[in-house]
Chains A and B, each alone.
Chain A
Amino acid sequence: MPEKTIAGQIVELDEEGYLKNPVQWTKEIAVEIAKEEGIPELTPAHWRVIEFLQKDFRERGEVPGMRRLHKVGGIPTKELFDLFPGGPIKKAARIGGLPKPASCV
């Protein structure tokens, strides 16, 4: 799946559907990917998670795990699972235009 049009924009995706080039990411694209992931609407609570992931990725070069999201991002684990049911960080990373999380914890 090399190229796809999402929200009227042509983007490059890897074989698992993650954006290859974060520069191509827009909020409109995020809304469309969220729908694919079964999240009909991105609320401010969703954006708080996505924006923390993006900020942390910019600063540290990797998608943070659940512990960092809680301790540094201030997002309780239960809330994270409520917002992004079924694989929360993978989903949030994909919606945020980030690569698939690469750590075990």
Chain B
Amino acid sequence: MSRHDSLKKVSIIVSKGSFEGVYPGLIMAHGARMEGMEANLFFTFFGLHAIVKKKMNKLKVATVGNPALCVPTPMGMPMPTLLGALPGMSTLATAMMKKEMERLDIPPVGEFIEMIHDAGAGIYACKATVDMFKLKREDFCPQVDKVLTVGEFYQLSAEAQIIFT
């Protein structure tokens, strides 16, 4: 059997807290484990919302400051920023995206984190942000392995490709 060489280890940084800011990193971490690669996820700044229990399943699509957002379908007309600012628009856009993702069997954030962790990926929180947001251990979902400093993150990422999202 011919095999193409692939990466052996990835460290994926999730720095954004919007729905569309969090999912790419999760999908990449999951995909890495499916390929048998070592994978670690590091959540920093607003990306931390993805591992905070009371926030993780309430992430929203950004409907303001997102010129690629279109209505009524993802390839339809660009949505004017003023419309995106109306109450409920973010909720509506998120609901539509969730429906499509469910169809592709992409789980909600909480379940996805659990699945990725069960698949053997490490889940880490950034210490600077944890201190800044005044978060405690009990605020996080149980899959969080550790709160790391940047230095520890680099040590953990030895030999890995680092991907920033």
Binding site for B on A (CB under 8 A): 1, 13, 15-17, 36, 65-68, 70, 76-78, 81, 85-90, 101, 103-105
- Which residues of B (10-42) have their CB < 8 Å from a CB of A? 27, 30-31, 33-36
B152 at the interface (CB under 8 A from A): no
CB of A36 within 8 A of CB of B1, answer: yes
- Within 8 Å by CB of A87, from B1, B36, B115, lies B36
Known: A65-B105, A89-B34. 6 other contacts (CB 8 A): A1-B2, A67-B111, A77-B119, A86-B36, A104-B31, A105-B30
Residues in chain A near residue B30, CB distance under 8 A: 66, 105
- Among residues of A, the one whose C-beta sits closest to the C-beta of B106 is A105
Residues in chain A near residue B27, CB distance under 8 A: 104-105
CB of A17 within 8 A of CB of B119, answer: no
* A17-B3 Cα distance, complex, nearest whole Å: 9
B118 at the interface (CB under 8 A from A): yes
CB of A67 within 8 A of CB of B105, answer: yes
Residues in chain A near residue B110, CB distance under 8 A: none
B104 at the interface (CB under 8 A from A): yes
7 A-B pairs within 8 Å (CB atoms) are namely A36-B1, A65-B105, A66-B30, A70-B115, A81-B33, A81-B119, A105-B30
Residues in chain B near residue A88, CB distance under 8 A: 34
Shortest CB-to-CB span from B12 to chain A, Å, is 14
* A105-B105 Cα distance, complex, nearest whole Å: 7
- Among residues of A, the one whose C-beta sits closest to the C-beta of B31 is A104
B120 at the interface (CB under 8 A from A): yes
